[in-house]
Structure 1
Amino acid sequence: MYRRTIVPLAIALGILGAGGTLHADERDHELAREALQQGQVLPLRQVLDKVEREYQGQVLKIEFERDDGRYVYEIRLLQKDGRMAKLKVDAVDGRVLKIKRKGDF
């Protein structure tokens, strides 16, 4: 499984509004950019809009992974109730595949 941090790319592509600070190298940027340009993944902003609406929280960290042959956004957020949550979201259709809350990690 390859982990890819994507926020700097998302900012560069203009698909992420104001948010947290993360790090990525050029290969991470290129992989995510190519997947987005080829229509293989949803824009990050679209995925974040859904996650923020449904899980009521502030995004703290985003990673882009290739997990079992599929692209996945791994999103950590601080929910309004103060709990941390980690979601795995299918980057193709935006479905939440898995959620863990603090204490579950």
Structure 2
Amino acid sequence: MSPSRRLLALLSVASAVAIPGAMLHAREPGHDDHELARQALERGQVLPLRTVLERVEREYQGQVLKVEFEHDDGHFIYEIRLLQRDDRMVKLKVDAVDGRVLQVKRKEH
């Protein structure tokens, strides 16, 4: 199995437990980034997706619809889209290492 497929499989298993029905994508520009991300997950260098989602759902009160995993400028990022109770869509960029929310974008109804 290629490194990119292994990464997607690892993240898919994590997301299936944490967010049934949500879509998960691994977006990385090249093969080396996939391998780097896979190694980071295996070594515990990034937080498990479940941990990040529990924090985000608690703080932003919404249902996760989509998760993307990226490696941008040397940082691992979870991009999370969720639908809040008031029907607003929120897109969060979360540092995969410490779970810190780096950016919040809201779309009104």
Query: Taking structure 1 as the reference length, what is the TM-score of the superposition?
Result: 0.75
State how far apart, in whole Å, the 2-side matches of 1:24 and 1:93 are.
19
* Residue 61 (structure 1) aligns with: 66
1:52–1:33 distance in 2 versus 1, CA, 3 Å = same
1:100–1:23 distance in 2 versus 1, CA, 3 Å = closer
Note the alpha carbon deviations across 1:32-55, whole angstroms, 9 max, x for none. Answer: 442211122000000000000000
Query: Taking structure 2 as the reference length, what is the TM-score of the superposition?
Result: 0.73
Unaligned ranges ≥5, structure 1:
none
Residues matched between the structures, number: 98
Pick aligned residue for 2:79 from 74, 89, 98 = 74
Q: Percent identity?
A: 65
From the two aligned structures, give the one with the greater helix fraction.
2
Instruction: Give yes or no for contact 1:62–1:74 (8 Å, CA) kept in 2.
Output: yes
* Residue 10 (structure 2) aligns with: 9
Unaligned ranges ≥5, structure 2:
none
Equivalent position SS for 1:93: coil
Instruction: Give yes or no for contact 1:75–1:87 (8 Å, CA) kept in 2.
Output: yes
State how far apart, in whole Å, the 2-side matches of 1:52 and 1:7 are.
22
* Residue 21 (structure 1) aligns with: 23
Please state how far the C-alpha of 1:69 moved relative to its aligned partner. Answer: 0.8
Note the alpha carbon deviations across 1:58-91, whole angstroms, 9 max, x for none. Answer: 0010000111110000000001110000000000
Pick the structure with greater CA Rg. 2
Equivalent position SS for 2:23: coil
CA RMSD in angstroms comes to 2.8
